[in-house]
Chain A
Amino acid sequence: MIDVEKLSDAELRTKLLEFGFPVMPITGTTRKVMVKKLKLLLENKNKVGSSDTRRSLGKYSSEEESDNETKSRRMRRITLAAPVASTSVKINQKIVEPEPVSSPKGKQTSASKTKIIRGVQDDFDTGSESESELVGSSEKLNSNVRRSPSKYDESLEDRDFKRRSPLKTSLSSSYSRYSPTKNDDSSFLNSRNVSFATSSPARHTNYGGTESAGSGLLSTSLASEYANDRLNQMRSRLSLGNPSTPLVSPEVKLTERDTPFLSNFTRRLSALSASKKNVDFENKNDLVKEHDANGSTLYGRSYLSNFRATRGREPTYEYKSLQNEGGAKGSFVSYGVLALAAAFFIVLAVVYLGMVSDTSVVTSGYLSPICDDSLNIAGINCVNKEHIQNAINLLESIHPELKKRAVAHRCFDLSIKPQMTETEIVAFCQTNYGIKDAEMIRKDLHNLEVMTFVNPEWGLHVAQMEKNDGAVTEANILTSMEGMVPNKITSLVLLNPELPYKCVFFAYLANAIYSLTLIGVIFAALFVSRLGLKYYARYQQKQKHELNTLIEKIIEVLQNAASDQDNTYVVINHVRDAILSVKERKEKRRLWERAVDYIKEHESRVRTEVQTVHGESYDVWRWIGSGNLSLCGNSPRKSVWQGQAFDTDPGAANSVAFSPTPCLKIRGMFEEGAGKPVAMTVREAVLSKIGHQCRILHCQAEVSSGVVYLKCASEEDAAIAFKNLHGWWYSGQLVTVKYLRLERYQQRYPDAASGPPYLRSG
C-alpha cells in the first residue's frame, strides 16, 4: 500500500489518472481533497467484493446522470477518457489489418487469424512460455467463459474481451501471469506506457486485448474491477501518447469530433448496466465501422466487415442467444414437466378406463365340477364333462343380454327386470341362434346353473321367485343347487354388472345433486327457523314495549283522575276507551287484557274493585298512591314562590342592617337566555310578590343575563323588597338579591322612572 499522503503532486495526479478519475490541477488547496479521493478509490479497490467498486463507480455515473447541468456532464464525459476508449477499439481493428494483405479475403478462417495473432504475439511477448500452451489455455478460458454467460454481465470489459477473445487470449494469458504483481508498480507501468506510446499500433491493441483477457482469466470478483482500472489506465496513457503517435492521432480527432456518440459510449462505460449490453455491443461495432469509413482506407473497411462477421458478431449472437435461451429454457422446462405430468395422468386414466371395460365372458380358468364316481349327483353339484362346453357356449350367448338387462335396470329404468327366466332364455336362444331343440337348451341351462355356483367370479346368480313380476333381489338368490324348488320360476341374473361410465357418472351426479339439495334444504330450514326466531323475538319485544306504554298510560290516567277528583276510582272500560282509539280497541284487546292483568297483579298503587256506577256494577281502578308522587319528580311547578330558605329579618345573619341604595339586583330567578315569555313571567312574579308592600319605580328582567333589576322609590322600600326576595325559592331555585348603586342603575337604564306612578302586579 502506498502512503498517499507522501505522494508528490505529480504522482498523485498520475495515480488518480490510473483510476480514470477526472483530475484537477493539484494545488495547495486542492491537494487535500484529491488525496482524500484517492484514498477512497484505493480503499474501494482493495475491497474483495468488486460490487462495491462498481457501486461507487455507478454512483458517479448516476450523479452525473441526475445532474441537470449538461455542461458539467459534458466536461465529465470528455475528461473520462471517452475518446481514448474509442481509439482502443479502433486500434483493435488495426492489428488485423495486415492480415488481408497476406491472405485472400474470402478465405479467412479462425486458424489463420490465430496464426497471425501468434505472430504478433511473438513480436510482443518478451519472455513467456511456449506458444502452444498459451493458446491452449486461452482456448480453455474461452470455452469457460462462453459456458457461463452470467460472467459476461460482470462488466463491459469482459464483453470486450469476449469479442476479441478468439484472437487475443493467447496474448492475454501470458500477460496475466505477471500482471497482478505489476498492479501497483507505477514505475514499471510508466515505462511500459512510454514504450507503448511509441510502439506500433498493433502492439497497442495487443496490450488492450491482453488486459481484457487478463481480467477474464482472473474471473473473480476482482476481475472486472481490475479490467476497469487497466482500461482506464490504458486510455489515459493513450491519450497522453496520442500526439506522439501519428498513426493513431487522426482517429482520435475523429472521435473527438463525434461527441454525441461518444457521450453515449462514455455513459455506457460508466453505467455498467447489464441490460443494454447487446444493443451496446452493436453500437460499438457500428462505431468502429463509422470511424473506419471516416478515417481509414476503403480496404480497411472491407476487412472490418469481414472481421465483424467472423469475429465480432458471432460471439455476440451466441451470447445473445445463450441468454435468451437461458430465460426461455427455464420456463420451458417447468412447463414441459407440467405437461409431462398431465400427460402421464391422462394416459393413466385412459388405460384405467380401457382396462375395466373387459366385456368378454369367462372363457377359461373356470371351475368345472365334473361328475365322477363319488358322491356327486349329476345335475345337482356336478356336470358331465361333455356338457360343459355347451353350457359355456350358452353362457356366452346369453351373457350380453343379461348384462344389457342388468345395466338397463340399474341405469335407466327400474321397471326393466334384470333377470332372465328359463323360458325367456330358451326363447332368446331359439330366436337369436335358431336352435330348435328347447329341451337341449334347458339341459344346458341347467348345467350352466350348476356351474354358476362353483364360479362365483362370473358374477352370475341363480334366483328363484314365486312369480316373475319384479326385479330379482338378494333375497331371491340361491346359494346352491339343493335349494332349488321345482315349481318356482328360475332365472339367471347379473347382480353387479359393469356399468357404463355415463351411467356411473350420472349416478354420481344424481347422488351429488340429491345430497346437495338435501343440504340446501336443511340450510334453508335452519335459515328460516333462525329468521322466525329473530322475528318472534322482535315481536315479543314489541309486545312488551307496547304493554309497558299502555300500562304507563293507564297509570297516568289514574293519577290524573285521582288528583282531579275526590272520587278516586275510574271504570276500567272508560280508561280503555280513553287510551285506545275506536279502531285499536278490537286489535289490542289481548294487549289490553294483559295490561289489566299486569296492573291487577303488579301495581300496588292501584286497587281493582267493583263499584256501582249509574246503577251498574263495573270493575274499577282506584288510585291509592299519593297523587303527586310522580308529578313532583317529573314536572316541577313553574313560576311559583316556594317559600323562604333562610331568615332575612333584621338581626338575622343574612340581613343587611340598612339599605344603602334604592336599587336591587335579583339573581337566580331564571336561566340565562330563557326567553322573553319567561322574563315577563318572572317580572310579574316579582311585582306580584312585593308590589303591594313597597313602591316600585322600575323593574326589568334581563333575558341575556338572567337578572332582574329593580328600582324602588326609597331605601326603605328597597329594604322591604330585599327582605321579601332574598333567600326565597322560586321555581326550585334560590333567589339572591344584591343592592346596586343608583348611578349604575341610571347608567344602565337612563330612562328609568324616578317618580310615581308606582308599579303594581298585573
Chain B
Amino acid sequence: MSSTSQKHRNFVAEPMGDKPVTELAGVGGVLGERLSQAGFDRAYVVLGQFLVLKKNQDLFKEWMKDTCSANSKQSTDCWQCLNDWCEEFL
C-alpha cells in the first residue's frame, strides 16, 4: 500500500457512526448501490461482515467480489480501510 486515498483517511479519522456504505474507501456509487441491494446499506454492516470473516483479507476480497463484483483494487482498498479503522477504534 503505497499511499492511501483521501476517502480512506477521512473514514479512518473518526468513528463510523451511521455512515453510508459509500463512505468506505474503494466503494463508490455503483458498488454502494449493489451492496445496498444485498442488504449492506451502512458501513457498519460491512464492518460486521469484515469481522465475521475474521479480518481475513482473502476471504473479504472474495466476498466483495461475490457480493458486488468489486475488482481487486476496490476490495483491497475497502479491506485496508476497515482494517485500519479497526486498528484505530476497535
Interface residues of A (CB under 8 A from B): 22, 24-25, 27, 29-30, 32-34, 36-37, 63, 67, 69, 71-72, 75-76, 79
Q: How many residues belonging to B are interface residues under a CB distance threshold of 8 Å? A: 15
Q: Is the CB of A27 within 8 A of B52?
A: yes
* Minimum Cβ distance to chain A for residue B2 (Å): 13
Does B66 count as interface, using CB distance less than 8 angstroms?
yes
Residues of B within 8 A of A71 (CB): 55, 87
Q: Is the CB of A69 within 8 A of B83?
A: yes
B residues 44-90 in Cβ contact with A at 8 Å: 49, 52-59, 62-63, 66-67, 83, 87
Q: How far, in whole Å, are A482 and B11 apart by their CA atoms in the complex?
A: 128
Decide yes or no: A29 and B52 within 8 Å by CB, A69-B83, A71-B87 being known contacts: yes
Q: Is the CB of A24 within 8 A of B54?
A: yes
Chain A residue at smallest Cβ distance from B61: A33
Q: Is the CB of B52 within 8 A of A25?
A: yes
Residues of B within 8 A of A27 (CB): 52
Q: Is the CB of B83 within 8 A of A75?
A: no
Residues of B within 8 A of A75 (CB): 54-55
Q: How far, in whole Å, are A33 and B49 apart by their CA atoms in the complex?
A: 12
Q: Is the CB of A24 within 8 A of B87?
A: no
* Minimum Cβ distance to chain B for residue A72 (Å): 6
Residues of A within 8 A of B59 (CB): 24, 30, 33-34, 37
Interface residues of B (CB under 8 A from A): 49, 52-59, 62-63, 66-67, 83, 87
State which of A32, A69, A72 has its C-beta within 8 Å of the C-beta of B66: A32
Q: Is the CB of B49 within 8 A of A29?
A: yes
Residues of B within 8 A of A29 (CB): 49, 52, 63, 67
Q: How far, in whole Å, are A358 and B39 apart by their CA atoms in the complex?
A: 108
Residues of A within 8 A of B58 (CB): 63
Interface of A is mostly: helix
Q: Is the CB of B52 within 8 A of A30?
A: yes
Chain A residue at smallest Cβ distance from B40: A29
Q: Is the CB of B62 within 8 A of A36?
A: yes
Residues of A within 8 A of B83 (CB): 69, 72
Residues of A within 8 A of B49 (CB): 29-30
8 further interface pairs, Cβ-Cβ under 8 Å (given A30-B49, A37-B62, A71-B87): A30-B52, A32-B66, A33-B53, A33-B59, A33-B62, A36-B66, A63-B58, A79-B54
Residues of B within 8 A of A67 (CB): 57
* Minimum Cβ distance to chain B for residue A172 (Å): 35
Chain A residue at smallest Cβ distance from B51: A24
* Minimum Cβ distance to chain A for residue B36 (Å): 14
Q: Is the CB of A72 within 8 A of B55?
A: yes
Decide yes or no: A33 and B55 within 8 Å by CB, A69-B83, A71-B87 being known contacts: no
Q: How far, in whole Å, are A387 and B59 apart by their CA atoms in the complex?
A: 115
Q: How far, in whole Å, are A29 and B63 apart by their CA atoms in the complex?
A: 8
Q: Is the CB of A30 within 8 A of B63?
A: yes
Q: How far, in whole Å, are A118 and B61 apart by their CA atoms in the complex?
A: 51
Residues of A within 8 A of B62 (CB): 33, 36-37
Q: How far, in whole Å, are A72 and B80 apart by their CA atoms in the complex?
A: 12
Q: Is the CB of B66 within 8 A of A22?
A: no
Q: How far, in whole Å, are A76 and B55 apart by their CA atoms in the complex?
A: 10
* Minimum Cβ distance to chain A for residue B79 (Å): 10
Chain A residue at smallest Cβ distance from B45: A29
Q: Is the CB of A24 within 8 A of B56?
A: yes
Chain B residue at smallest Cβ distance from A59: B58
Q: How far, in whole Å, are A36 and B52 apart by their CA atoms in the complex?
A: 16
Q: Which 6 residue pairs of A and B lie closest in terms of their CB atoms, listed nearest first?
A: A33-B62, A33-B63, A24-B53, A24-B54, A33-B59, A32-B66
Residues of B within 8 A of A63 (CB): 57-58
Chain B residue at smallest Cβ distance from A72: B55
* Minimum Cβ distance to chain B for residue A65 (Å): 13
* Minimum Cβ distance to chain B for residue A29 (Å): 6
Residues of A within 8 A of B87 (CB): 71
Residues of B within 8 A of A32 (CB): 63, 66
Residues of A within 8 A of B66 (CB): 32-33, 36
Residues of A within 8 A of B52 (CB): 24-25, 27, 29-30
Q: How far, in whole Å, are A573 and B52 apart by their CA atoms in the complex?
A: 114
* Minimum Cβ distance to chain B for residue A426 (Å): 109
Residues of A within 8 A of B55 (CB): 71-72, 75
Can you list 20 A-B contacts (CB < 8 A)? Answer: A22-B54, A22-B56, A24-B53, A24-B56, A27-B52, A29-B52, A29-B63, A30-B49, A30-B53, A30-B59, A30-B63, A32-B66, A34-B59, A36-B66, A37-B62, A63-B57, A63-B58, A72-B56, A72-B57, A76-B56
Q: How far, in whole Å, are A25 and B50 apart by their CA atoms in the complex?
A: 12
Q: How far, in whole Å, are A22 and B53 apart by their CA atoms in the complex?
A: 10
